[in-house]
Amino acid sequence: LLLIPLVLLHRRHRGRRTPPFSLLVVAGSGGHTTEILRLLSCLSESYSPRHYVLADSDKMSEAKIRSFEQKRAETFSESQFSLDRIPRSREVRQSWISSVLTTLHSILYSLPLTYKRKPDLILCNGPGTCVPVCLSAFLLGLLRIKRTIIVYVESICRVETLSLSGKILYYFSDYFIVQWPDLKKKYPKSVYLGRIV
């Protein structure tokens, strides 16, 4: 899965840059963090440093990430990671109108963070927090400040319809991965790889 963007990055920067590749990972409450950490467990040490972004009200994800990184450090001694927090862009069952305002608020925090980290690759899988982060990275690319590859992996629980984050980022991601064939039929830009988490 993640060799595709790696190959593209290598081609684009051939002669100018060698790995490692800076990776920004958007974690989310609930099963999102568990799924994203399963994906990360397959990555080599070339994906370093890893910058995690979580919602400011998400306490459980931080513990999971620290535990994951502690185990990873046993294998890769040069392992580097950071944790950053931004305001949550949308609460569960929050109204659409207020969601627009809270998402704009979250984008204001995401822009300087994305500019500071300047990741080569963003990996996310559906928490609402990923929308402002990916939009900020997309904007930095439009302004020619930093081009970041965005890989969106729709959650395994999404069988027939996309999440709200997926419906938005379908148009902004470089690679949109789905885990069920029905979604591939409905969204032709997506890449169906079967179950990957």
Kindly state the DSSP code that residue 152 receives in the 8-state scheme: E
Confidence of residue 75 (pLDDT cuts 50, 70, 90): confident
Helix 60-75 and helix 31-40, axial crossing angle in degrees, nearest 10 = 10
pLDDT digits (tens, 9 = 90+) for 144-197: 999 999 999 998 889 889 998 899 999 999 999 999 999 999 999 999 988 877
Confidence of residue 69 (pLDDT cuts 50, 70, 90): very high
pLDDT for res 193: 85
pLDDT in tens, 94-138: 676 777 888 888 999 999 999 999 999 999 998 888 999 999 999
Tell me what pLDDT residue 19 has.
Answer: 65
DSSP 33-95: HHHHHHHHTT--TTS-SEEEEEETT--HHHHHHHHHHHHHHHH-TT--EEEEEE--S--TT--
Q: What residue ranges define each of the domains in the chain, with the CATH number in brackets?
A: 19-192 (3.40.50.2000)
Sequence-ordered list of residues with C-beta below 8 angstroms from that of 163, at least 6 positions apart, any chain: 126, 154, 155
What is the enclosing helix (H) or strand (E) of 11?
helix 3-12
